[in-house]
Amino acid sequence: MQTTPQLKHEAQESADRFLQGIKDCVPTLLSYLSIGFAAGVVGNTAGLSIAEIALMSVLIYAGSAQFIFAGMIAADGSVAAIILTIFIVNLRHLLLSAALSPYFRRLSPLKNMLIGSLLTDETFGVAMNHASQKKPIGEKWMFGLNIAAYLNWIIATLLGAIFGQWITNPENFGLDFALTAMFIGLLVLQIANRKRIAKDIAVALSAVVFVVGASFVTSGSAAVIAATVIAATIGMVMEKWK
């Protein structure tokens, strides 16, 4: 049976890990603010209300999906088309969760579900960078990282929705490119931290070749998913075969 000092020590340790997760999220907060603000502006331009944009951020919580949603709403897309497109685009989260799952095998299904539900491209990037630097990735740390990002995203999209009333053309400010720019930044940082530039470039080039080839026989979204799976498989084989 644990004593009171032991319990206090464990509680303090858990709190420290949670706070460390928040601190490690700070470098990504500026990108969340800019991308979230852009998503709010684009949503407002598409005719969504502030409440609708806020609800979308709380429930969907996916930058690419929210940009797609706003664009398809503005283009009078059907409900079925919007749902299917967002589902296909967000299938990448299966790959993100699968890559991160080995670090949380000992957790209960509920805790894994909570971590996975708030996992984003950015928090995944931070976690994998930590892993590549041999830094510990734990439950409390991941919750701190995810929750900080989640709350920041909701605030950013709300600000964009509010101030977006005075921005009628987001393209003039480059807000439509904000999401792409963020992904490029994350990719560059991860390549730099891994220090395996030759392999990473080879995987990136294979992804480009496959996505261009697949786009001739299927839709753009399906081509991206197929190229991602194939390139990731190539990368895994290259990592194992040294």
Confidence of residue 155 (pLDDT cuts 50, 70, 90): very high
Mean pLDDT, rounded, for 196-216: 80
Confidence of residue 176 (pLDDT cuts 50, 70, 90): low
Confidence of residue 158 (pLDDT cuts 50, 70, 90): very high
Q: For the ranges 94-103, 179-188, 192-201, 222-231, which has the lowest average pLDDT? A: 179-188
Mean pLDDT, rounded, for 148-160: 92
How confident is the model at residue 148, as a pLDDT?
A: 92
Q: For the ranges 72-81, 107-116, 123-132, 202-211, which has the lowest average pLDDT? A: 72-81
Residue range 29-79, pLDDT digits in tens: 877 787 888 888 888 888 888 999 999 999 888 887 888 888 778 777 778
Question: Quick one: which of 199, 198, 189 has its CA closest to 132?
Answer: 189
Q: Does the pLDDT value for residue 183 go beyond 70?
A: no
Q: Which 3-state string (H, E, C) describes the chain? A: CCCHHHHHHHHHHHHHHHHHHHHHHHHHHHHHHHHHHHHHHHHHHCCCCHHHHHHHHHHCCCHHHHHHHHHHHHCCCCHHHHHHHHHHHCCHHHHHHHHHHHHHCCCCHHHHHHHHHCCCHHHHHHHHHHHHCCCCCCHHHHHHHHHHHHHHHHHHHHHHHHHHHHCCCHHHHCHHHHHHHHHHHHHHHHHHHHCCHHHHHHHHHHHHHHHHHHCCCCCHHHHHHHHHHHHHHHHHHHHHCC
Q: Does the pLDDT value for residue 136 go beyond 90?
A: no
Q: Does the pLDDT value for residue 165 go beyond 90?
A: no
Q: What is the pTM of this model?
A: 0.70
What percent of the chain is predicted at pLDDT more than 70?
81
Identify which has the larger pLDDT, 190 or 92: 92
Mean pLDDT, rounded, for 98-126: 86
Confidence of residue 150 (pLDDT cuts 50, 70, 90): very high
Q: Does the pLDDT value for residue 154 go beyond 90?
A: yes
Identify which has the larger pLDDT, 1 or 138: 138
Residue type, 33: L
Instruction: Determine the Cα–Cα distance for residues 231 and 200; give it in Å rounded to an integer.
Output: 10
* Two tokens, residue 14: 């858990």
Identify which has the larger pLDDT, 76 or 150: 150
Confidence of residue 3 (pLDDT cuts 50, 70, 90): low
* Two tokens, residue 38: 């852009």
Instruction: Determine the Cα–Cα distance for residues 176 and 34; give it in Å rounded to an integer.
Output: 11
Angle formed by the axes of helices 50-59 and 63-74, nearest 10°: 140
- Ordered by start, the domain boundaries in the chain are 4-176, 196-242
Rg over CA atoms, the chain: 20
